[in-house]
């Protein structure tokens, strides 16, 4: 009888299912999978910036689009007329020209528009509605070509910075 009990007890130990090492390995693999998912999917834990952030992003994007559309040559959607941009796009015309909201003739947002080389080594043109303080709330970049500016014939960087 004794041998039967020890035999049945040994059988129940082998057939009992999950052991502590099995559980630890399973939990470890699960945690690694979750960590991998959070690490590879950008913005999973980012909170929505709220309506102000979306408005500033839309404003910067709208300004960049207005500049490319208003000063475009018509030959290429990303080609800008450099002479017109330099002559017509001065500080006094900036708010109305790019559709900024104004109160009493002054823009509500501070905007800086810069045309610079791709490598950011030289600035070709800079216009600002007023001085922005600190880091801009939103920055939008567009790549444009400017036929009548030698350093921008291939491409230049149009940077729009908005402070709210």
Quick one: tokens of 37? 């998912």
Q: What pLDDT sits at residue 26? A: 94
> How would residue 79 be classed by pLDDT, with cut points 50, 70 and 90?
confident
Residue whose C-alpha is closest to residue 63's, from 6, 155, 164, 139: 139
Q: How far apart are CA 80 and CA 78, in angstroms?
A: 7
Least confident of 11-25, 45-59, 148-162: 45-59
Quick one: tokens of 101? 């909201």
Task: Assign 22 to helix, strand or coil.
Answer: helix
Q: How far apart are CA 145 and CA 71, in angstroms?
A: 11
Residue 79: CB atoms within 10 Å = 18
Query: What average pLDDT does the chain have?
Result: 75
What DSSP character marks residue 21?
A: H
For 35-57, write each residue's pLDDT tens digit.
Answer: 988 888 876 666 655 555 666 67
Q: Percentage of the chain surpassing pLDDT 90?
A: 7
Q: How far apart are CA 155 and CA 18, in angstroms?
A: 63
Residue whose C-alpha is closest to residue 89's, from 107, 67, 64: 67
> How would residue 97 be classed by pLDDT, with cut points 50, 70 and 90?
low
Q: How far apart are CA 30 and CA 64, in angstroms?
A: 45
């Amino acid at each position: 009888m004794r041998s039967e009990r020890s035999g049945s007890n040994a059988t129940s130990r082998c057939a009992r299912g999950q052991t502590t090492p099995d559980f630890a390995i399973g939990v470890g693999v699960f945690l690694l999978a979750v960590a991998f998912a959070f690490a590879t999917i950008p913005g999973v834990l980012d909170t929505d910036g709220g309506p102000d952030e979306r408005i500033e992003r839309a404003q910067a994007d709208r300004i960049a689009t207005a500049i490319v559309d208003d000063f475009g040559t018509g030959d290429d959607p990303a080609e800008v007329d450099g002479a017109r941009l330099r002559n017509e796009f001065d500080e006094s015309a900036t708010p109305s020209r790019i559709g900024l909201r104004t109160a009493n003739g002054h823009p509500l947002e501070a905007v800086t528009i810069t045309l610079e080389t791709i490598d950011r080594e030289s600035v070709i043109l800079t216009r600002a509605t007023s001085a922005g303080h600190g880091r801009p709330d939103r920055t939008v970049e567009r790549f444009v070509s400017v036929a009548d500016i030698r350093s921008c014939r291939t491409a230049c960087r149009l940077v729009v910075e908005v402070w709210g």
